[in-house]
């Protein structure tokens, strides 16, 4: 029993490395998807309603009339999304997300860039979690059922809520990078 507990007690180091890989996978994969129209279309409500991001869109107030479902091809709506800067913004965001994933993975090569990646991985959910407040589509709409609004998260809201894990997971990743950086500089 004690031996098992000692082994489990040392898993935090492995856990930190696995968390670093998990964070990188999420940022790299989701970042790459930002270059595909369906993903760009799906973030439209979040960006359009965000006081921090809506200025990136040409017509954020008109987004509801131009939403598509995943897998739906509607050329008229795609033309609007293009003129709204939806795809340009999504490509920029995807580039940033891929960069964060690469920075997180760079830790064995450079503790400084690994630390920066961890800090950016921590900061990102602070923005995305704000969508729970600013985006009506984060909650189940009142469509006849008694379960709607708070606390009933929609699919989009559930997707955003998982960023609590990203926020928490980035802390040990940052701490590990900082600890190793201090050791390398004998501080």
Q: What's the distance, CA 85 to chain centroid?
A: 20
pTM above 0.85, yes or no: yes
Question: What is the Cα gyration radius of the chain?
Answer: 20
Q: How far apart are CA 106 and CA 114, in angstroms?
A: 5
CA-nearest of 27, 100, 99, 93 to 57 is: 93
CA-nearest of 185, 137, 138 to 163 is: 138
Contact 35, 94 (CB under 8 A): yes
Q: Look at residue 107 in the predicted model and tell me its pLDDT.
A: 95
> pLDDT grade, residue 39 (50/70/90)?
very high
Q: What is the pLDDT of residues 40-82, one digit of tens each?
A: 999 999 999 999 999 999 999 999 999 998 889 999 999 999 9
Q: How far apart are CA 40 and CA 81, in angstroms?
A: 9
Q: What is the pLDDT of residues 145-179, one digit of tens each?
A: 888 888 999 989 998 999 999 999 999 999 999 99
Q: How far apart are CA 11 and CA 52, in angstroms?
A: 39
């Amino acid at each position: 029993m004690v031996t098992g507990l000692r082994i489990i007690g040392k898993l935090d180091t492995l856990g930190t490395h696995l968390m670093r890989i998990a964070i990188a996978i999420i940022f790299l994969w989701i970042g790459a998807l930002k270059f595909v129209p369906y993903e760009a279309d799906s973030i439209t409500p979040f960006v359009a309603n965000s006081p921090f991001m809506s200025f990136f869109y040409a017509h954020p107030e008109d987004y509801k009339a131009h939403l598509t479902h995943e897998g739906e091809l509607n050329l008229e709506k795609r033309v609007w999304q293009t003129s709204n800067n939806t795809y340009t913004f999504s490509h920029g965001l995807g580039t940033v997300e891929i960069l964060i994933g690469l920075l997180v993975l760079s830790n064995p090569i450079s503790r400084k860039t690994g630390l920066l990646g961890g800090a950016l991985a921590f900061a990102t959910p602070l923005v995305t979690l704000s969508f729970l407040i600013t985006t009506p589509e984060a909650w189940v709409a009142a469509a006849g059922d008694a379960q709607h609004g708070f606390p009933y998260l929609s699919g989009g809201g559930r997707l955003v809520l998982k960023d609590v894990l990203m926020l928490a997971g980035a802390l040990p990743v940052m701490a590990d990078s900082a600890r190793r950086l201090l050791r390398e500089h004998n501080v």
